[in-house]
Amino acid sequence: MDRLPIALQNTYLDLLGRLEDARVAGRAPPDTFVSKLVKGRRYWYIQPATTSAAPRRQTYIGPETPALLARMEANQRLRVDADERAMLVRTLQASRSFPPLPGAIGRALSAMADAGVFRLRAVLVGTVAFHAYAAMLGIKLGQASFTTEDVDVAQFRSISIAVEDETPDMLNILRQVDPDYEALPSLYPMAPPTRYRTRGVKVEFLTPMRGPQEMQPVALPSLGTGAEPLRYLDYLIYEEQPAALLFGAGILVNVPSPARFVWHKLILSQVRTTDRQKARKDILQAQTLLPVLAEDRPYELRSAWKDLATDGRVTWQETAKAGIAAMDPQVANLARDLIQSA
């Protein structure tokens, strides 16, 4: 594996921290932070000041954690300068160590982030998420880097309902970037749209499948869109992690745990029966990340492996083992050693 210099890794961590600060400090005083207690857990919101008699619309920022409380305290006094973040992005891009983010994709994701899509715990999945792991894990992807025109975003329906906040309609968000975005038709005429397209870019929204027979798109009310139910997605997007995309002043998104990403890709490689090219890409992405995680985060790989079998889903492990057999022998043996010790 080709590791990034420590200086670049530290620059990325600085950018990620500044983006997280900016998410909380997105509004200037006299806005205030307010909390709600739901089933014993506290959730925090930004409450804007208003001089009208209209109710104040609160903006959800996340469940209470020590890190969030610390950021709230710091950001009562501090606003992050976007110009400084843009300088960090340019520094990282100038190293030529990361897959470039196409402009049309970067603009779409930036608009979605600004509208609150990732603040509301949507998760970026697919190849763009894979590219984000380069900076997160401190590696160069090299030949494992793939071009893509697809942006795949997923969210649990339970979260979409529970956050009590919402973005504008998704098509309106995307048309602010490119007025030629259109909602693609579905096999179910009465269902909300799940896919949007403009020249060279397709944005698709996904959600975990509830039961093997669920096929019809469902609404994600917090994101102003529909979503296609997919099997295995509940495993992938559980316990998402923050990541910074290198575009503009940086884009703060959520991506799956890289360990879950690896095992999920191995499963997908075996269930893609009609697209062997995508199945091979699944294998290549998994075997690129697995050695890095085996060295740096073996405990995460073991934990994510054990979670594959929760709720009686032992067949998921068996499917992933078939994917392991399709990897290069050296990486496959490493994977087998990890799961035997899990």
Contact 336, 290 (CB under 8 A): no
Please enumerate in sequence order all residues whose Cβ is within 8 A of that of 145, keeping only pairs 6 or more positions apart, or say none.
99, 131, 134
Arithmetic mean of pLDDT, 238-245: 95
| Number of residues in the chain | 342
- Scan for tokens 């054990």, then name that residue: 306
pLDDT number for residue 21: 83
Does the pLDDT of residue 178 top 60, yes or no?
yes
Peptide bond preceding 229 in cis form (omega within 30 of 0)? no
Of 170, 271, 282, 260, residue with least CA distance to 230:
271
Does the pLDDT of residue 141 top 90, yes or no?
no
Give dist(CA 233, CA 236) in Å, integer: 5
Give dist(CA 67, CA 69) in Å, integer: 5
pLDDT number for residue 28: 47
The letter for the amino acid at 92 is L
Give dist(CA 217, CA 32) in Å, integer: 37
Does the pLDDT of residue 132 top 50, yes or no?
yes
3-state secondary structure of 228: strand
Higher pLDDT, 303 or 275: 303
The letter for the amino acid at 220 is L
